[in-house]
Structures are given as structure tokens and as C-alpha cells.
Structure 1
Amino acid sequence: MPGAGAIILREGRASDAPALAAIHRRVRQAAMPGLHEAHDEADVAHWIATTLMREHRVVVAEQDGMPLGYIGFGEDARHGPMVLHLYLAPAWRGQGIGARLLAAAGAALGPRLGLHCIARNAAALRFYRRQGFRVVAQSDGAGTEEGEPDLLLRRDSLPTASNDREPSP
């Protein structure tokens, strides 16, 4: 639950991976009940520490030393600058943290960003649309681990300041 200390953004560390994996799983289960998870929490933590953090950049939002959420981003050979993961613990939504994490990716990669989102993740889609993203392509999910239809979203400019405190995914 929200505490009293300042919420800071910092570079992710391999030691964060178990907490980030727990957030990852909790958020997905809450947003999309019944979602087929191809990997358990330990596998996700291993992937975050050994692949996501080594090949891309991860920024963690934390309060009083406790991770609240994270964003993973980098260059994708096919799609250019991409947000690869953005997960925020449900208790922390609506406080502008998701927008701050997206701003960190935008500061590093520029305002033109892409991302994939599972089509039935309505809360995430609302958030991304408020942040200036639009759907540019969709798939039937046959090529995804979850087997779920997904959307490719793109943002070509920074959102207005009024969007900064909207609920996060």
C-alpha cells in the first residue's frame, strides 16, 4: 500500500528481478483473468535479470526501497524504439507513476515509441491511449506465448501534461 516516502525512479538491478517478476505476474493476473502464462514467476525473474536487464534498459519506480513497478525499453530491430514491459502494482495506479516511467523511456529513446499490448487488457489500452499511443497493427495471437490477440501501438510525440496523472496499467 502507498507509504509516506518519495517515489523515485532508478536504474534496475539484477537483485530487483524477483520483486519485479512478482509485480509482473500479479498485474497480468489482475488485468486479464485466465491468461495463459507460459512462464512461472521464477522463470520471469531469471529472464528479467539475465535478458531484459542485459540487453535493454530497465527503470524501477520505488518507495522506501520497495519496487512499485518498472519499465523495460530499448531499440527493436523491426520496430525501432520500443517499450518492452511496463508493469505497476495495482495499489499504485492513478498517481502518475506509469506516466513517469513512460517519460523515462521517452527521455532515453525519444518521443517516438512503440509497444505491444494484449488486446483484452482494457485498462492498459486506456492508459496508453491517454499517453498518446494509437493502434497501428494487430495480430490474432498465434505468434505470442500467451496465444492472445495483441496490438502494436505507436506514439509519435510526447503527451500533454494533463495526461500525467491518469491511471496506469
Structure 2
Amino acid sequence: MAGVALRDAVAGDAAALARIYLAARQAALPGLVERFDPTQVAGWLAGHLMAHHAVRVAEADAVPVGYIGHGTDDRHGPMVFHLYLDPAWHRRGIGTLLLAEALAAHAGSLSLFCIARNAGARSFYETHGFRIIGGSDGADTEEAEPDLLYAVAPTPKHGETQ
């Protein structure tokens, strides 16, 4: 994609990624009450997500405009933990580019959780082959909102079985 580069995240990205995270959630989920302020989110991103998982940043003119965090979850296997874009950068193929890297890193198999009322994210993931395999009423989630568990697996080649 012209003008957008992908790179590994560094701890110094945490504040910018926290701003993207919070802005994306507010744009997609009006009325969502955030439990953590930008400093707390940045601390979690640097101290947990970046410390334990792969995080790739999409940037334009050396400014982060989106990111994906993925790795392996003990319960669900290969998983996307975060995929967020600055709302001003939606529908430019950046999410697809980030997701493609994560899929390639995990041989085409990934799962993820999505807040059920996030219609835009649901459409994005379903367009990329993810299907709902579970969900919850949200009682045990940070947001206290119903969520959906999505998964995608590689399509077997002709003559192969899964």
C-alpha cells in the first residue's frame, strides 16, 4: 500500500498506540465506558502486549495509524489480541494488510474476540473469512458487553483434508 509501511512495534510506540486504541473504540462503539485512561492503556500495551506477543505498526509519514497484536493464547491457540486503526485511516486496506501478516505468521489459522455490537469490525472479519464459533454475554469481559469468538482456518487445497 503506497504511503503506509509496516514495522515491529517498540516501547516508544505505546502512547501513540493507546491513542489509536481509544479513538477507534469510541468511533466504533459510541457510549462505551473506558475503564482505563491513555496512560494505563499505554502501560498495558508496552508491559503486556508488546512484551509477550508480536505487535506490528502501520505508519504513514513516520506516524502510527494502526496496529495489530497477535500471538498464541493458552486456551484458543493462535489469536489476534488487538487490531485497531485510527478512524481517519479506515477503508484504505491497512487493516487487511495487518491481518494478512498475522495470518501468514500463524499458517492461516487465527481466532479473536469482537464486541458483538461492533458491526464494522464484524463485517471486516467476516469479509476475511472469519466465522463465529462462540461468544459470551459479556459478564466476564472488561467492557461488560456481549462478545463473539471468531475463527478462521486455512482452506484445504484440492485433495487435502483437515
Where on the TM-score scale, by shorter chain, does this alignment land: which range? over 0.9
Return the index of the structure with the highest Cα Rg. 2
> What is the 5 A alignment of 1:3-82?
6-82=3-79
State the alpha-carbon separation in 2 of the partners of residues 156 and 93 from structure 1. 25
1:150 corresponds to: 147
State the alpha-carbon separation in 2 of the partners of residues 157 and 29 from structure 1. 32
Gaps of at least 5 residues in structure 1 are: 159-169
Pick from 105, 114, 119 the counterpart of residue 122 of structure 1. 119
2:101 corresponds to: 104
Q: Which runs of 4+ in 1 moved over 3 A?
A: none
Q: What TM-score, normalized by structure 1, do the two folds share? A: 0.89
Residue pair 1:58, 1:71 contacting (<8 A) in 2 also? yes
State the alpha-carbon separation in 1 of the partners of residues 33 and 136 from structure 2. 17
Gaps of at least 5 residues in structure 2 are: 156-162
State the alpha-carbon separation in 2 of the partners of residues 96 and 37 from structure 1. 27
Per-residue CA deviations over 1:38-91 (Å, capped at 9, x if unaligned) read 211110000001110011010000011100000000000100000000001111
Residue-pair matches, total: 154
1:141 corresponds to: 138
Percent identity of the aligned residues?
A: 55
State the alpha-carbon separation in 2 of the partners of residues 127 and 74 from structure 1. 20
State the alpha-carbon separation in 1 of the partners of residues 120 and 58 from structure 2. 20
State the alpha-carbon separation in 2 of the partners of residues 129 and 6 from structure 1. 27
Secondary structure in structure 2 of the residue aligned to 1:143: coil
Q: What TM-score, normalized by structure 2, do the two folds share? A: 0.92
Residue pair 1:36, 1:147 contacting (<8 A) in 2 also? no
One-letter code of the match for 1:135? I
Secondary structure in structure 1 of the residue aligned to 2:151: strand
Aligned-residue RMSD, C-alpha: 1.0
